Structure 1
Amino acid sequence: MQKKVLMICLVIALLEGFAGLGIEIYAIRISATYIGSSISITGVILAMVLIAIAVGYWYGGRLSQAARTPRQALLQAGYVLSLSAISHAIACIIQLPLLAAMTSSTDSPIIAAIGVGLLFGVGLAFGSTAIPLITQFLSLKYKNHDGVDAGKNAGTMVAITTVGSVLGSTVTPIFLLPYIGLMSSLALFIASLAFSAWLCTKLAIQIESDEPIKASDHVTNYLLFTSALVMTAAFIMMNRVDTGYQTATGAWFIKDTLAGRDLAVTITDKPGQSTSSCWVYATQKNCHWYGEIAVEAIGQTKPDTLVFLGGAGMGTPSEVAHYNPKMKVTVIDIDKDLPKIIEKHFLKAPIAANIEFIGDDARGYLTRNKQARYDFMLIDAFQGQHVASNLYTLEALTQFKANSNDIMANIIGIPRKEHGYTQTILKNWQEVFGDTAYVLTKYGSVNLQNIMLCNFACPGSQKLAQAEFFNAQQPVHTDDLPRLDRYYYRAIERL
């Protein structure tokens, strides 16, 4: 009997850890739609998570001191687990409108990240409160048994809940989100917490005890975790927010549209901020200005081998490959699951046979394959409206210069001298390519826009050094001093 009870307690601890961290991964992923995903944002949310867990352990220790019987400790554990389930259910309902309100009222994604961390931290604190209570239950229940002591119980419970947390933080992004989606994953996490609350309550009722059991002692637990399940089911059924096609590294949002009179489709990782690619089915061409410029430049340079750093919808490489079947096109994107989504939902056709897709970090791949040589390179990697900053350091651009003859880059910025974020990218381009650095803006506008950079005289461009909006005194962005990250993380300027 002792082993059976211990196994039930370990299952409860495992489920609590799994659901708690799984829900945090859910929160981080869905928050990325509004505030992006970066080391700083993830770090802030994880910090709030750890604070919540610490508070829960502390408070659970206080509650366990007041639990004088095994049944009392278990019922209390079931109660806080029920509160954890319903708190997370409420947080999921509140999260999206809260993020929308916060991002419209503040320029700092860090503040929004703190809000998300606090919102879900309540449920995490309740969940971790259960661990000391279950430890107290074991100590009280088997205090006269050989080999049973509080220290051993505490160590075992913390170890198992940590294993659950590890499973939640790894299985969720790698398997659950890509294969069953955000909403189904959320339902699984809330159900796990509800089930652990039920196990605690059921075990409390069934254990042998001289203490009389009252209906009021356990009905509250049942009502709370049942309410959590009902609220979660209602949220999933009524939620109309597009959570995109989930992959291990992010989510892609696809929308049908029109390009003139032709049916087209767009894809993005940040809906409402930017579109990564646009594709016209009838013409088999991309329908973005920067894509058209890139295709024109490729026609001008006539390369045999091309590499695209960043795949997105692969509109530009697909157009190039379709109309130039003898060209060898390589696309490097960190999202290994991208081709399946592109073929099924974006192109709605197989990727061209002369396109080789490499699921890897672009800079990392080229660093490991320094011998790789291409006639033409297009850097087109973004996180929302911000470039992948590791591709624009002086070191990275110098490396790419050795990998390819002709290089273009698509950035989003504001061509004004006082806009530090844009000027940092321009300054790095000028530093690396010098007199061969060219720039092309759209219609001469000084508003937020796509800006094309080249290391050759690409169509319609001018020398970067001669551009009126270029600030030659702007500090550079390096691996040691990642200035672009500082602009983004500290929200010095908002694109």
Structure 2
Amino acid sequence: MLEIVVFLCGAVVMVIELAATRILAPYLGTSTVVWTSVIGVILAALSLGYWWGGRLADRNPSRKALSGVILAAAACTAAIGFSNTFVVEMIRASGTGLHASSLLAVACLFGPASTLLGMIAPFAARIRLTDTATAGRTVGRLYALSTAGSIVGVFAGGFFLIAYFGSSAILFLTAAVLAGASALCHAGRWPLKALAALACVGLYLFSASQTAALTAKGVVDVDTPYQRAMVYPSRDYTTGRTIVALSTGPEGVQGGVYPDEPEALALNYTRFLPLASHFAPGMRRVLVLGGGAYAFPKYVLRSHPAADVDVVELDPGITALARAHFFLPDDPRLTIRHEDARTFLNANTQRYDVIVVDVFNSAASIPFHLATVETVRRLALALADDGVLIVNTIGALQGPRARLYKSFAATYSQAFPQVHAVRTWSGGAEDAPQNLLLVCFKTDAPRDWTSADPAMAGRLDRRIPPPDLSGALVLTDEYAPVERYLTGW
């Protein structure tokens, strides 16, 4: 039984680590900073557990003591499910910055359980050691079983658990597994251990019922194959109208729709995407990288009856949410491809009148491989000579965080003779991250930035002077420090 216990606890470690990224994502994002904090802190906690577990095992190498350690790990794991929202929101509100907040959140939430789980393998090895002549074989076997369990945990968590269960539900289920492992290790006080396992199962069922209750109220919190996404009723603070919002990161809303007018563009920055209609009124082929709530594809289908739209959206779960909550229609002119935008561009041979890049919509996580000059050159190849490319970026106009905006402008200038910037918000501090649209053309031919339509003219007038590109970094596949530029480090 001891070998089974070691295997199960090894699996739980990796399931918890994968769940950690989903729990932190709505508040701190999924950037490399967050992933580094999760991996580094949990490794540090495991190392502490190895040391501590070995010392305790030398003092009291008993199954009863090991069973108590596992039961304590179960309690700490269940506590994460209870406290994660409160703890992470409190840390984020402290204003300590992304790096410190990530480290502190992982240490507070996942450090205790990971430390206790790290104690199990050396503890079990000490219990199994009865003959020094076979010590190496015994220790090697137990650590191999623990690692094998971790491998199973990685694939079970990444391929199955996260796709079918909520983050908190996963924690309650793993806590129940640990309570059961405690009973397998030592049968003493089994009623308490059985009660603990049943309590964790009950917490899972309660969590599932709460999720169902929230869904009935229009609030959806789901783990897709690639991220954690939330759909909920909200309000457009520019108009006061009710919207259904989509959030995939800590900055708030990445997509939205008016339930009483689903064809309208609900978010402020999306109202500037029709600039494409001004510069390419006869568009026939349109490419959109990043579907989200599918606001712009729906606009094209409605406003340009002769246009066909290709959308490349990495996450099929996001498309499913768009169909269920954001009025995404089935239309023969709409083709949706679920793949990475870079791999699509690498294989693409089509030419498009309009390309909209909307994959940089979260200041907490920018896909660096889509920001590089290599990607920009692929975009240039895919754009018709008289076409227009519109890129929704995140950046500041002034201060240390402006390096990202300047780098974007410098990078796109490598393939496009004309790169114009449009500021979607006139208010707000210039040193704060905000939506900035890059409007790019493949030729030097002058374009008309005036319109008889007052609404369009107002958007065209939001063009701002080009930034000073002296010293600006051209982002490459080899070096693209987008997260450092975003945080101002």
Q: Are 2:357 and 1:385 aligned?
A: no
Which of 65, 82, 87 is the equivalent residue of 1:98?
Answer: 87
Which of 306, 314, 321 is the equivalent residue of 1:334?
Answer: 314
1:21 is aligned to 14
Give the counterpart letter for 1:407 in structure 2.
L
Q: Are 2:266 and 1:304 aligned?
A: no
CA RMSD of aligned residues (A): 3.3
Give the counterpart letter for 2:353 in structure 1.
D
2:344 is aligned to 365
For 2:14 and 2:352, locate their aligned partners in 1 and report how far apart those are by CA, in whole Å.
Answer: 43
**For 1:57-115, what per-residue CA distance to the aligned partner results, in whole angstroms no more than 9, with x for missing partners?**
222222332346xxxx2112211100111122223333322221222223522212212
**Counterparts of residues 70-219 of structure 1 (less than 5 Å):** 73-119=62-108, 120-140=110-130, 149-202=134-187
**For 1:240-280, what per-residue CA distance to the aligned partner results, in whole angstroms no more than 9, with x for missing partners?**
99772211110221123467697642212125533334355
For 2:324 and 2:199, locate their aligned partners in 1 and report how far apart those are by CA, in whole Å.
Answer: 38
SS in 2 for 1:337: helix
Which of 369, 376, 397 is the equivalent residue of 1:415?
Answer: 397
Give the counterpart letter for 1:375 in structure 2.
D
**For 1:265-305, what per-residue CA distance to the aligned partner results, in whole angstroms no more than 9, with x for missing partners?**
22121255333343555352322233232234235402211
TM-superposed deviation, 1:359: 1.4
**Counterparts of residues 255-266 of structure 1 (less than 5 Å):** 255-257=232-234, 264-266=243-245
For 2:165 and 2:67, locate their aligned partners in 1 and report how far apart those are by CA, in whole Å.
Answer: 28
Instruction: For structure 1, list consecutive stretches of 5 or more residues without a partner in the other structure.
Output: 1-7, 206-214
- Higher mean Cα deviation, 269-278 or 32-41? 269-278
Q: Are 2:469 and 1:472 aligned?
A: yes
For 1:304 and 1:238, locate their aligned partners in 2 and report how far apart those are by CA, in whole Å.
Answer: 46
**Counterparts of residues 438-477 of structure 1 (less than 5 Å):** 438-442=420-424, 444-445=426-427, 447=429, 449-456=434-441, 457=447, 460=457, 467-468=464-465, 470-477=467-474
SS in 2 for 1:381: coil
1:269 is aligned to 248
Give the counterpart letter for 2:184 in structure 1.
L
Aligned residues: 458
TM-superposed deviation, 1:441: 1.7
Note if contact 2:9-2:178 (Cα within 8 Å) is conserved in structure 1.
yes
For the structure 1 residues 470 and 118, does the alpha-carbon distance in structure 2 shift closer, same or farther, using more than 3 Å as the test? same
TM-superposed deviation, 1:166: 1.9
TM-superposed deviation, 1:188: 1.4
Q: Are 2:488 and 1:492 aligned?
A: yes
Note if contact 1:183-1:236 (Cα within 8 Å) is conserved in structure 2.
no
TM-score under structure 2 normalisation?
A: 0.83
SS in 1 for 2:157: helix
SS in 1 for 2:316: coil
Give the counterpart letter for 2:118 in structure 1.
S
1:51 is aligned to 44
Q: Are 2:392 and 1:395 aligned?
A: no
For 1:229 and 1:283, locate their aligned partners in 2 and report how far apart those are by CA, in whole Å.
Answer: 40
SS in 2 for 1:244: strand
TM-superposed deviation, 1:404: 1.2
Give the counterpart letter for 1:450 in structure 2.
N
SS in 1 for 2:165: helix
**For 1:164-198, what per-residue CA distance to the aligned partner results, in whole angstroms no more than 9, with x for missing partners?**
21222232233212222223222211111111111
Give the counterpart letter for 1:253 in structure 2.
M
Note if contact 2:277-2:283 (Cα within 8 Å) is conserved in structure 1.
yes
Which of 419, 428, 431 is the equivalent residue of 2:411?
Answer: 428
For 1:13 and 1:27, locate their aligned partners in 2 and report how far apart those are by CA, in whole Å.
Answer: 21
Give the counterpart letter for 1:429 in structure 2.
Y
Q: Are 2:27 and 1:34 aligned?
A: yes
Give the counterpart letter for 2:440 in structure 1.
N
Note if contact 1:423-1:474 (Cα within 8 Å) is conserved in structure 2.
no
2:334 is aligned to 355
Note if contact 1:14-1:160 (Cα within 8 Å) is conserved in structure 2.
yes
TM-superposed deviation, 1:42: 0.7
SS in 2 for 1:433: coil
For 1:357 and 1:17, locate their aligned partners in 2 and report how far apart those are by CA, in whole Å.
Answer: 39
Note if contact 2:389-2:440 (Cα within 8 Å) is conserved in structure 1.
yes
1:210 is aligned to none
Identity of aligned residues (%): 19
SS in 1 for 2:186: helix
SS in 1 for 2:166: helix
Note if contact 1:390-1:396 (Cα within 8 Å) is conserved in structure 2.
yes
Structure number, greater radius of gyration: 1
TM-superposed deviation, 1:329: 0.9
Which of 210, 231, 234 is the equivalent residue of 1:254?
Answer: 231
Give the counterpart letter for 1:94 in structure 2.
S
For the structure 1 residues 328 and 281, does the alpha-carbon distance in structure 2 shift closer, same or farther, using more than 3 Å as the test? farther
Note if contact 2:29-2:250 (Cα within 8 Å) is conserved in structure 1.
no
1:212 is aligned to none
SS in 2 for 1:245: strand
Note if contact 2:176-2:198 (Cα within 8 Å) is conserved in structure 1.
no
Note if contact 2:254-2:292 (Cα within 8 Å) is conserved in structure 1.
no
Note if contact 1:417-1:469 (Cα within 8 Å) is conserved in structure 2.
no
SS in 1 for 2:391: strand
For the structure 1 residues 285 and 430, does the alpha-carbon distance in structure 2 shift closer, same or farther, using more than 3 Å as the test? same
Note if contact 1:243-1:251 (Cα within 8 Å) is conserved in structure 2.
no
For 1:186 and 1:221, locate their aligned partners in 2 and report how far apart those are by CA, in whole Å.
Answer: 17
Note if contact 1:439-1:462 (Cα within 8 Å) is conserved in structure 2.
no
SS in 2 for 1:428: helix
1:482 is aligned to 480
SS in 2 for 1:286: coil
- Higher mean Cα deviation, 466-475 or 30-39? 466-475
Give the counterpart letter for 1:12 in structure 2.
V
